[in-house]
Amino acid sequence: MTAQVSELIELLSLERLEDNLFRGQSRDIGTKYVFGGQVLGQALSAAQATMDAVQEPRSAHSLHAYFLRAGDIDAPIVYLVDRTRDGGSFSVRRVTAVQHGQPIFFLAASFQRAEDGQAQHQLSMPEVPKPDDIAPTPDPSPEQLARLPSKVQRWLSRQGPFEFRHVYPRDELNPPKRPPFQQVWFKLSQRVGDAPELHRALLAYASDFHLLGTATFPHGISYYQPNVLMASLDHALWFHRPFRADEWLLYSIDSPSAQDGRGLARGQVFDLGGKLVASTAQEGLIRVINEAKD
């Protein structure tokens, strides 16, 4: 297993302090604060770990989360799980993430026992090239990196655990204005174990990539620009069908609105065979800071 994948698996494998109390480490991946996907994935891992008291297996089918404060990349995060309800078919867990004595994140997760539903349908996957027909995104040149802040340089130059292939690539360093739609193939760069709980946590982590950025497309701005401030405010994720995070998944994203310093983005995740396996939604802060005039 590569160092990047091994580190991510370790990051999502929390230390259990008490029955409902867990501790996770933080990683600096080039973002100013803790990456939102890390907190989302770790909180889901904590909630999943408390399903051990339920007699029959139950799987997470929806998550709803709010980001309250920026996370400190140099400090661990403690996750407190409230076992809110274990009903006949559904279980609910609420998770509070705490750093330096203050809550930085809330998550509510719902779990369901396996059930055969009579009503089943899904929207079709967009017709796009397959990932093997798309060239990997080239790395920025040394000259381009030299003009960027040090954090952004490290973000762009790092080799992460996920591989991404953009159907319609955009130059994030010189972003053009275009409609708020994008499709991105992604997968974990190496095969991992079969536990569905692990793959859900991995998808939760990866679902924070590229989502909010779609709301910047009509405005010709990018997170890489020093005068653009972006931060996740909330995040929702629904799991529909079984999947593997180490096999190609298509992230089809659109942004229906941006206003009042906030942008909304929605995503659908399809497997290579066209099955809709998950859906996402996120609203985030988008501020363009006017540069001081001489």
| pLDDT of 63 higher than 90 | yes
Domain membership of residue 124 (yes or no) is: no
Write down the pLDDT at residue 138: 75
| pLDDT of 292 higher than 60 | no
Write down the pLDDT at residue 293: 43
Domain membership of residue 249 (yes or no) is: yes
Mean pLDDT of 190-215: 97
Q: How many CA atoms lie within 13 A of 167 on its CB side?
A: 15
Domain membership of residue 58 (yes or no) is: yes
User: What tokens were used for 22?
Assistant: 């867990």
| pLDDT of 175 higher than 80 | yes
Structural contact between residues 185 and 131, judged by C-beta atoms closer than 8 angstroms: yes
Write down the pLDDT at residue 155: 63
Catalytic residue numbers read: 208, 232, 282
Domain membership of residue 122 (yes or no) is: no
Domain membership of residue 28 (yes or no) is: yes
Inter-CA distances, 197 with 69, 173, 249, Å? 27, 36, 17
What is the number of structural domains in the chain?
A: 1
Q: How many CA atoms lie within 13 A of 129 on its CB side?
A: 10
Least confident piece of the model among 46-50, 151-155, 203-207:
151-155
Nearest-CA neighbor of 267 among 189, 211, 206, 191? 211
pLDDT bin (cut points 50, 70, 90) of residue 154 is: low
Structural contact between residues 158 and 29, judged by C-beta atoms closer than 8 angstroms: yes
| pLDDT of 226 higher than 90 | no
Domain membership of residue 175 (yes or no) is: yes
Nearest-CA neighbor of 185 among 163, 205, 159? 163
Domain membership of residue 84 (yes or no) is: yes
Domain containing 96: what range?
3-114+131-288
Whole-number mean pLDDT of the chain? 93
Q: What is the CATH number of the domain that holds 232?
A: 2.40.160.210
